Amino acid sequence: MFLGTLAGSTSPVGTFTALLGAQIDISPRLTVEFAINERFEHGVLLDVGALKVGRTPLAAGELAYQGAGKSTLALRNTADAPARALLLGGEPFGENLLMWWNFVGRTHDEIAEYREQWQNGSARFGAVHGYQGTTQRLPAPPLPTVRLKPRRSPSRRESP
């Protein structure tokens, strides 16, 4: 557990909103089922092995999505080797958001403003101390020549 609570374990890390983050290691051919927060949507990112999330097969590097409203999450290791996955969860955003590079906003203009603040070294983004690489911030790429629009991804693959 690195964020939140799952299966009786609670992370000591504090968050500003209720979140879930856990590494899950599953023995070969084993099925595990977790009680989860029904208010959360969840993503399962498979690192190693082969899983089924509900009835959805998942290969390494793929992400399965389970929407809010479900009280359990079932993971089945379908291989003869161990599997390792990352489980992330949180309450769905109540609005469509726009994501570009390292910024999240509601409009193109917000993203443009955040980019400008970043480029100007705004303290809003904090500082990284102890990094052995360059002491300067990585510059943000130029904004696209078209206006960015918030939208939900139609390619989300929800697990039954």
Q: How far apart are CA 111 and CA 106, in angstroms?
A: 8
> Where are the chain's structural domains?
5-90, 95-126+136-151
- The CATH superfamily of 5-90 is Jelly Rolls (2.60.120.10)
Counting every residue written for the chain, the total comes to 160
Task: List CB contacts of 119: < 8 A, sequence separation 6 or more.
Answer: 139, 140
pTM recorded for the entire structure? 0.68
3 state DSSP class of 119: helix
Per-residue pLDDT 10s for the chain (160 aa) are: 999 999 999 999 988 889 999 999 999 999 999 999 999 999 999 999 999 999 999 999 999 999 999 999 999 999 999 999 999 999 987 788 898 998 999 999 999 999 999 999 899 988 777 777 766 778 899 999 999 988 664 444 445 5
